[in-house]
Structure 1
Amino acid sequence: MLTMKDIIREGDPILRQVAKEVSLPPRQEDVETAKKMLEFLIHSQNPEMAQKYHLRPGVGLAAPQIGISKRLIAVHVTDDNGKLYSVALFNPKIVSHSVQVTYLEGGEGCLSVDRPVPGLVPRYAKITVRGIDHKGEKVELKLKGMPAIVFQHEIDHLDGIMFYDRINKEKPFEPPAQMALYR
């Protein structure tokens, strides 16, 4: 089982590397990693498990955050309609996105960042993501709102991008043009 001790913290060079594609079909070792990542997220959102194992709550995790430079993410998040997105994807790609941009009112956080980083993080309001699930099946997800933000955050990790890289350094709280607040 993964715990916070397994999470790589900012400053580690692996978080700035572009992760390598996962060979397909995924090897059993990669499938097991995907399952452990998803399990961590589920446990981190369960108050008893989080307290017992000292887990910070998370909605997404990328393989580089556990020291594995491979294109693999796990997400466990609910949209505004109560639909749960609980999936691990190998080689995820954003294949289309909206012109409109959004952001989280309180900013973003990250399991690899142990400090608050104030500022608005611009994200596409709607995206389409393609990837391969743990069974080797092709997956295409049309996302908006919180799930879209989470998937973009995790895919950024695969390219060595931290969420705070996207904050406007001069005016961190000024919404860019064509930006809508997601609450």
Structure 2
Amino acid sequence: MILMKDIVREGHPSLKNASAEVSLPISEEEKRLLEDMLEFLKNSQDDETAAKYDLRAGVGLAAPQLGIEKRLIAIHFEDFNGKLYSYGLVNPKIISHSVEKSYLTSGEGCLSVDRPVEGYVPRHARITIKATDIEGNPVKLRLKGYPSIVFQHEIDHLNGIMFYDHINKDNPFAVPDNSTPIE
């Protein structure tokens, strides 16, 4: 079971390095890692389990956050309309994106960042990603709004990019050009 102590924090090299592609089919060890990452997210969102194990709530987790430089991410959350997004993905890649931007009005957080970081994080409003799921099936997802932001945040981790790298250094609350706020 993954606990908060297993998640590396700011300054760890795996958070700044680009991660390696994963060979397909994935190994049993990699499959187990993705299952454990999904389990962590589900546990972190369950109030009782989170309190018992002192877990911070998360909607996404990337392997580099565990010090493992492989292109693996887990996502688990319900969007504002109650649609469930629950994926363990291998080699996710954004294959197209909108010119239009979006950002969370509340800002973004990260399990690897133990401090509040204020400011708007400009993201693509719409993205299409391709990946392989935990069972080895090809996946193609068209995402917009909050789900688009979550997936971009996790894919950034695979490229050594932290969410705050996108924040305008001179004016953290500058509204990105051609953007839609996500409440």
> Does TM, scored on the shorter chain, surpass 0.5?
yes
| Unaligned ranges ≥5, structure 2 | none
Report the residue type matching 1:109 in the other structure. G
The 5 Å alignment of 1:105-144 reads 105-144=105-144
Query: Which residue is 1:69 aligned to?
Result: 69
RMSD (CA atoms): 0.6
Distance in 1 separating the partners of 2:181 and 2:78: 18
Distance in 2 separating the partners of 1:59 and 1:89: 14
Report the residue type matching 2:101 in the other structure. V
Per-residue deviation, 1:31: 0.3
| Unaligned ranges ≥5, structure 1 | none
Contact 1:79–1:145 under 8 Å retained in 2:
no
Query: Which residue is 1:98 aligned to?
Result: 98
- Does 2:166 align with 1:169? no
Q: How many residues align?
A: 183
Distance in 1 separating the partners of 2:93 and 2:152: 9
Report the residue type matching 2:46 in the other structure. N
Query: Which residue is 1:85 aligned to?
Result: 85
Q: Deviation digits for residues 135-182 of structure 1, max 9, x if unmatched?
A: 100001111111110000000000000000000000110112101101
The 5 Å alignment of 1:45-64 reads 45-64=45-64
Per-residue deviation, 1:81: 2.1
Per-residue deviation, 1:79: 1.9
Contact 1:7–1:112 under 8 Å retained in 2:
yes
Report the residue type matching 1:28 in the other structure. E
- Does 2:12 align with 1:9? no
Distance in 2 separating the partners of 1:73 and 1:34: 7
Secondary structure of the 1:35 match is helix
Give 4+ residue runs of structure 1 displaced > 3 Å after superposition.
none
Contact 1:118–1:172 under 8 Å retained in 2:
yes
Given the two structures, how large is their TM-score scaled by the length of structure 2?
0.99
Q: Deviation digits for residues 36-76 of structure 1, max 9, x if unmatched?
A: 00000000000000000000000000000011100000001
Per-residue deviation, 1:80: 2.7
Distance in 2 separating the partners of 1:19 and 1:143: 23
Given the two structures, how large is their TM-score scaled by the length of structure 1?
0.99
Distance in 1 separating the partners of 2:134 and 2:128: 19
Distance in 2 separating the partners of 1:129 and 1:43: 26
